[in-house]
């Protein structure tokens, strides 16, 4: 399975590099665009992204509410960037971030099972909303006949992929034993990597307990916190899209709503195929390629993509490094 994922990632990256090649010449034009950019819009993009991350922090707090423990909004906003930074600094298929999340939330009274369960629930909600955004964007473009036959074919392929992944996730998660088998399989794969990294391998008993804890945790929720969680999930995604729109505005280009939604959804889909955390490389290339293919001027697409990734990805990780240092300095293991 690992070799297949790497093969798919390499194939997708090769396609993106091929599509990005015509935009290489636009890199020279992107320089003057930055010099003449409306920096006020980039400042607005940063503010929007901070609010978006506050919504994500509140989403996590809502999902943690049914479990024993207590955490404030500011502390959660400090933990999440540290979590994002460590995933990039120590690539381990997300395991390094999970370990850090468990460690810091444990200081606030939450069990490892609650930490992992709420992370999975957050990822599920974000995945559903992002898939919906992609479908809305494609529907908008189709209704306004803004796509060529080739573009429709490519988007149809991407939509089918999204729906297949979503259907697979639903199918796996509906059955506890099916989920258990999947998690045990992934745990075996992680254990092989753990031996190379000299990390503690996962025990089968521990994995079984956490799977049971995940499904038992579902019984802790009522309709109201799930509805509130859905609202904050939508706000998180909408504000992230608004950050991207503000980056385009900084270079005096207004992206039509349908193209904005479609490009955002496709960027997430393509970056999800990447082998590196955070879609490194894939997201940076796909963002410029997708919007250039959907009609944005090449230089503007490159400049806006760079600005968005600097704000939404790299700035967050830089803050995460500082946050990680502060949290580590204050960390006191329980005895």
The predicted-structure confidence for 156-167, as pLDDT tens digits, reads as follows: 776 677 677 767
CB-based contact 246:48 (threshold 8 Å): yes
Asked whether 207 and 188 are in contact (CB, 8 A), the reply is no
Q: What tens digit of pLDDT does each residue of 38-68 get?
A: 889 999 999 999 999 999 999 999 888 888 8
Residue that wins the pLDDT comparison between 93 and 20 = 93
CA distance 45 to 243: 5
**Would you state the pLDDT for residue 59?**
92
Q: Would residue 100 count as lying in a domain?
A: yes
Region 175-179 average pLDDT: 79
- Indicate whether 269 belongs to any domain: yes
Residue 335 inside a domain? The answer is no
- Percent pLDDT > 70 in the chain is 72
Average pLDDT, the chain: 77
Domain of residue 74, residue span: 2-17+29-330
Please determine, for residue 267, whether its predicted confidence score (pLDDT) is greater than 50.
yes
Could you tell me if residue 320 is inside a domain? yes
- Average pLDDT for 174-187: 78
Least confident window among 78-92, 145-159, 268-282: 268-282
Report pLDDT for 243: 95
Return the DSSP state at 313: I
Tokens at 315, concatenated: 């700035």
Instruction: Give 108 or 270, the one with higher predicted confidence.
Output: 108
88 is a domain residue:
yes
Q: Is residue 24 part of a domain?
A: no
Q: Provide the domain count of the chain.
A: 1
User: Which range (134-148, 177-191, 233-247) has the least confidence?
Assistant: 134-148
Residue 22 covered by a domain: no
**CA distance linking residue 258 with residue 136, whole number of Å:** 8
- Neighbour count for residue 218 (Cβ, 10 Å): 11
Report d(CA 287, CA 184) in Å as an integer. Answer: 35
At 16 the pLDDT is 47
Distance between CA atoms of 185 and 181, rounded to whole angstroms?
Answer: 6
């Amino acid at each position: 399975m690992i070799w297949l994922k790497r093969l798919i990632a390499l194939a997708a990256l090769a396609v993106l590099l091929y599509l990005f090649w015509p935009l290489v010449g636009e890199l020279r034009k992107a320089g003057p665009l930055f010099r003449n950019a409306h920096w006020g819009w980039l400042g607005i993009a940063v503010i929007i992204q901070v609010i978006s991350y506050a919504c994500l922090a509140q989403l996590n707090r809502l999902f943690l509410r049914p479990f024993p423990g207590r955490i404030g909004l500011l502390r959660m906003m400090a933990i999440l960037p540290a979590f994002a930074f460590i995933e990039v600094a120590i690539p381990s298929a997300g395991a390094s971030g999970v370990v850090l999340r468990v460690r810091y939330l444990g200081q606030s009274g939450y069990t490892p099972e609650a930490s992992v369960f709420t992370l999975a629930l957050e990822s599920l909600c974000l995945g559903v909303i992002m898939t919906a955004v992609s479908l809305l964007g494609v529907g908008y473009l189709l209704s306004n006949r803004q796509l060529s036959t080739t573009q429709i074919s490519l988007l149809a392929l991407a939509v089918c992929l999204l729906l297949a992944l979503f259907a697979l996730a639903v199918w796996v998660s509906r059955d506890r034993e099916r989920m258990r088998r999947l998690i045990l399989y992934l745990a075996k794969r992680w254990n092989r990597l753990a031996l190379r990294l000299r990390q503690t391998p996962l025990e089968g008993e521990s994995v079984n307990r956490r799977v049971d804890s995940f499904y038992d945790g579902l019984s802790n929720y009522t309709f109201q916190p799930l509805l509130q969680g859905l609202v904050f999930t939508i706000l998180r995604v909408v504000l992230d899209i608004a950050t991207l729109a503000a980056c385009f505005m900084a270079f005096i280009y207004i992206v039509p709503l349908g193209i904005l939604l479609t490009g955002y959804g496709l960027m997430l889909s393509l970056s999800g195929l990447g082998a590196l955390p955070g879609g490194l490389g894939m997201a940076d290339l796909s963002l410029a390629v997708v919007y250039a293919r959907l009609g944005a001027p090449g230089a503007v697409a490159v400049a806006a993509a760079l600005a968005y990734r600097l704000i939404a990805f790299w700035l967050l990780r830089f803050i995460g490094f500082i946050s990680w240092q502060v949290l580590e300095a204050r960390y006191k293991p329980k005895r």
